[in-house]
């Protein structure tokens, strides 16, 4: 999607994917400077580890505690987080207004941090569940949210307006779901997994007449924000979405 946007704007640059093991993160970032790159995106497991490698953090990256976009400026690294804005724009696109409603978030990793940050800033009451209770409790304390135990999960979801899955359940096997099929919120369900676009969680929610939001919107909007940071130009959202869809349909 980035290359499609670059081509449309006539910019001579290329977006490439590279596998980097955790131990090689520092050297991979240094290679960006050597190669003259504008920056990069970071995915699991680098989002939180990159914090200590940045020379400067944006207010959002600092508040969220995770970096998904790096901007290289005169040999220095600026750490940004475009996930929160990307997530909230995907909800807005689906007509979801969180307001003073209750939302359950599954997971406590880097993506969850951005989601919780966005929801809290929109005024939502956020309940966090994670397989590791201490991680959920730590995240909840940071963002003035509430951690819930597994025993509380069914009732918490059913009493909430919305549910967001930030775990990787459903990524490898589309028939897997992080919750039981009858644990659904009252209004909407979002699964930030974008491969496949329709996970079991979303299929079940759609059949139960809940509004569903897949991970494509967040992917595209966070990417568009990153693109603007690197290039100083606004990309064509429609072109980026079409390019991303074209690839996802082949997977």
47 among known catalytic residues: yes
- Contact in structure between 131 and 106 (CB atoms under 8 Å): no
CA 50: distance to chain centroid?
Answer: 16
For residues 154 and 180, is the Cβ–Cβ distance under 8 A?
yes
Question: What residues contact residue 33 under an 8 Å CB cut-off, 6+ apart?
Answer: 72, 75
Instruction: Output the CA–CA distances (angstroms, integers) from residue 244 to 2, 33, 108, 167, 190, in the order listed.
Output: 9, 28, 26, 21, 19
26, 47, 209, 238: which one is catalytic?
A: 47
The answer to whether the beta carbons of residues 71 and 96 sit under 8 Å apart is no
Catalytic residues: 47
């Amino acid at each position: 999607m980035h290359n499609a946007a670059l081509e449309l704007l006539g910019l001579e640059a290329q977006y490439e994917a590279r596998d980097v093991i955790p131990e090689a993160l520092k050297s991979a970032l240094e290679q960006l400077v050597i190669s003259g790159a504008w920056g990069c995106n970071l995915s699991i497991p680098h989002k939180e580890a990159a914090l200590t490698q940045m020379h400067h953090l944006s207010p959002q990256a600092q508040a969220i505690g995770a970096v998904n976009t790096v901007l290289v400026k005169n040999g220095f690294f600026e750490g940004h987080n475009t996930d929160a804005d990307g997530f909230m724009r995907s909800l807005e696109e689906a007509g979801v207004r969180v307001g003073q409603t209750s939302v359950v978030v599954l997971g406590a990793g880097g993506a969850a941090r951005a989601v919780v940050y966005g929801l809290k800033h929109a005024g939502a009451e956020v309940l966090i569940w994670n397989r590791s209770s201490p991680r959920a409790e730590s995240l909840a304390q940071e963002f003035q949210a509430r951690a819930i135990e597994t025993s509380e999960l069914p009732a918490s979801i059913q009493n909430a307006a919305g549910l967001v899955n930030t775990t990787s359940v459903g990524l490898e096997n589309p028939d897997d779901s992080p919750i039981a099929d009858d644990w659904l919120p009252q209004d909407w369900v979002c699964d930030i997994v974008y491969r496949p676009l329709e996970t079991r969680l979303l299929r079940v929610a759609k059949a139960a007449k809940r509004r569903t939001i897949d991970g494509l919107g967040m992917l595209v909007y966070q990417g568009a924000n990153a693109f603007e940071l690197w290039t100083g130009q606004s990309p064509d959202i429609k072109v980026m979405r079409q390019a991303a869809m074209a690839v996802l349909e082949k997977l």
